[in-house]
């Protein structure tokens, strides 16, 4: 077993955080369309979560926000002139398009990429594939900027391979780590990679949801596994339950969370859940000669709708340096009697989960993203850790600097109708210029 570290990379919430309801299959996002957001509070809540993880002794790092509104995207729609001219014209001609190119959805770093540690792959390099996010225009525009951020952080090509996003096709729709879970006895052991997909991108007879379009394809997950050189013995694929997708489970991490040798999931998470779990446990047992702890939550205890409403399964499941396993839930879970009862039973029984902690990420939750959505997990060796820039890692000084930066630059109230405001445009650009100096990134 190698001495490795799991880094949680969280994206800073951007100055244009708003509730435009751009994703119909994301129940919270669609339900809260048009409400007033608080970008300052959203960013501060994100920073508090990062600091909480860092104080537990975990490696916590920061991704910068993307520039928004993305003027280059508007140029593809035929808008011309200066940035100011383009912004004014887009606001007048198509406010919905302007909302899309102003979206701060990159804050959900779990969709940024799929990552495979170097100890899991044949060439012994850490592999990263930025997600193409082709099922939603406002997310598709993130791919190129995300790739540039990865290249500015994971610079050493002898240690890291940054792949291009998969070809932008419905057959290769990829939503990143939100549909990928690495299972293993400890982070320093070669992992079993559990990929979950909503549909096949090729003609077939697989069952599909009635209402919502599945985002992740089997072919995308298979392609990433090939590019990352993961041995076939350490791969496991399963299909999402179409009923769950129709209930608002647009990503697997809305209904399932895993960490090391623990998998917490809902009874209706997968197509034929009992068969999936039986085979997954058998595969895990054959690799590691020990049990995978699978904790199933029955529909009779917590309904699909309640799971989506509270984002219980979008909690972060972590292992601290002193080997304590903690489930970090959104505070919304405290407002549900059924979820509260389950969490109390979870820590009072012989469960491998030792503790439950709740954090306030309400601004993100109102747009359909809980604690797990806000982070991307990256397992690195000591050599790889040393090759990463120091300025992105959370500590007391960085927390103070970023908190003051947010307080100086972010608004406390933002409506979708404000997105064409030139003052907001200038404020956002100025904020990102300041941030580059704080994080010491080009």
Residue 413 lies in a domain: yes
Structure tokens that stand for 101 in this block: 């190119």
In a domain, 215, yes or no: yes
Instruction: Measure the N-to-C terminal CA separation of the chain; round to a whole number of Å.
Output: 35
DSSP per residue, 360-402: --HHHHTTT--TTTTEEEEEEEHHHHHTS-GGGB--HHHHHHH
Residue 320 in tokens: 């601290």
Token output for 265? 């999931």
Could you tell me if residue 77 is inside a domain?
A: no
The domain total for the chain is 1
In a domain, 84, yes or no: no
Residue 150: the pLDDT is 98
Q: What is the pLDDT of residue 65?
A: 97
What pLDDT score was predicted for residue 215? 95
Query: Is 79 a member of any domain?
Result: no
Residues annotated as catalytic are: 175, 251, 373
At 28 the pLDDT is 83
Ranges of residues in the chain with a pLDDT under 70 are: 442
Q: Identify the CATH number of the domain in which residue 255 sits.
A: 3.75.10.20
Q: CA quadruple 18, 23, 28, 31: dihedral positive or negative?
A: positive
Say which residue the tokens 């993130």 belong to: 142
Position 10 scores a pLDDT of 98
pLDDT at position 141:
97
User: Which pLDDT belongs to residue 391?
Assistant: 96
255 in a domain, yes or no? yes
Domain assignment of residue 277, yes or no: yes
* Whole-number pLDDT of residue 419: 95
125, 108 Cβ separation under 8 angstroms = no
Cis peptide bond prior to 69, omega within 30° of 0: yes
Return d(Cα 57, Cα 55) in angstroms, integer. Answer: 5
Residue 8 placed within a domain: yes
Secondary element (H or E) of residue 195: strand 192-197
The pLDDT assigned to 142 comes to: 98
Residues in a beta bridge with 270? 240
Question: What is the distance between the alpha carbons of residues 208 and 213, in angstroms, rounded to a whole number?
Answer: 8
- List the domain range (segments joined by +) for residue 197: 4-68+103-439
């Amino acid at each position: 077993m190698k001495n490795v570290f799991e880094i949680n990379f969280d994206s800073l919430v951007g100055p244009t955080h708003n509730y435009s309801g751009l994703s119909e299959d994301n129940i919270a996002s669609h339900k809260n369309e048009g409400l007033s957001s608080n970008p300052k509070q959203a960013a501060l809540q994100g920073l508090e979560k990062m600091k909480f993880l860092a104080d537990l002794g975990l490696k916590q790092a920061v991704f910068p926000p993307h520039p928004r509104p993305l003027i280059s995207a508007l140029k593809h729609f035929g808008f011309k002139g200066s940035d100011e001219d383009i912004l004014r014209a887009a606001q007048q001609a198509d406010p919905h398009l302007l909302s899309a190119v102003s979206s701060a959805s990159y804050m959900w770093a779990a969709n940024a990429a799929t990552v495979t540690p170097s100890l899991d792959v044949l060439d012994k390099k850490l592999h990263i594939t930025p997600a193409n996010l082709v099922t939603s225009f406002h997310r598709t525009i993130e791919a190129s900027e995300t790739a540039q951020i990865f290249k500015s952080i994971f610079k050493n090509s002898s240690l890291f391979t940054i792949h291009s996003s998969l070809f932008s096709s419905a057959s290769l729709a990829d939503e990143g780590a939100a549909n990928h879970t690495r299972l293993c006895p400890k982070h320093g052991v070669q992992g079993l990679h559990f990929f979950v997909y909503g549909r096949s991108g090729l003609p077939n007879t697989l069952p599909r949801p009635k209402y919502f379009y599945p985002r992740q394809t089997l072919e995308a997950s298979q392609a990433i596994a090939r590019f990352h050189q993961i041995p076939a013995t350490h791969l496991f694929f399963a299909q999402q339950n179409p009923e769950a997708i129709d209930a608002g489970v647009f990503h697997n991490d809305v209904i399932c969370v895993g960490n090391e040798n623990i998998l917490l999931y809902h009874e209706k998470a997968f197509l034929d859940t009992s068969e999936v779990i039986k085979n997954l446990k058998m595969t895990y047992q054959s690799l590691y000669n020990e049990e995978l702890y699978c904790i199933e939550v029955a529909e009779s205890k917590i309904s699909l709708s309640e799971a989506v409403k509270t984002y219980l399964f979008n909690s972060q499941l972590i292992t601290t340096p002193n080997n304590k396993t903690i489930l970090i839930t959104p505070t919304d879970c405290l407002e549900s009697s059924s979820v509260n009862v389950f969490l109390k039973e979870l820590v009072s029984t012989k469960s491998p989960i030792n503790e439950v902690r709740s954090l306030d990420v309400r601004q993100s939750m109102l747009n359909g993203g809980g604690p797990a959505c806000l982070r991307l997990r990256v397992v690195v060796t000591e050599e790889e850790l040393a090759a990463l820039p120091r300025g992105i890692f959370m500590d007391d000084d960085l927390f103070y600097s970023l908190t003051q930066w947010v307080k100086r630059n972010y608004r406390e109230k933002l409506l979708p109708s404000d997105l064409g405001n030139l003052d907001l445009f200038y404020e956002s650009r100025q904020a990102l210029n300041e941030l580059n100096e704080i994080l010491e990134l080009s």
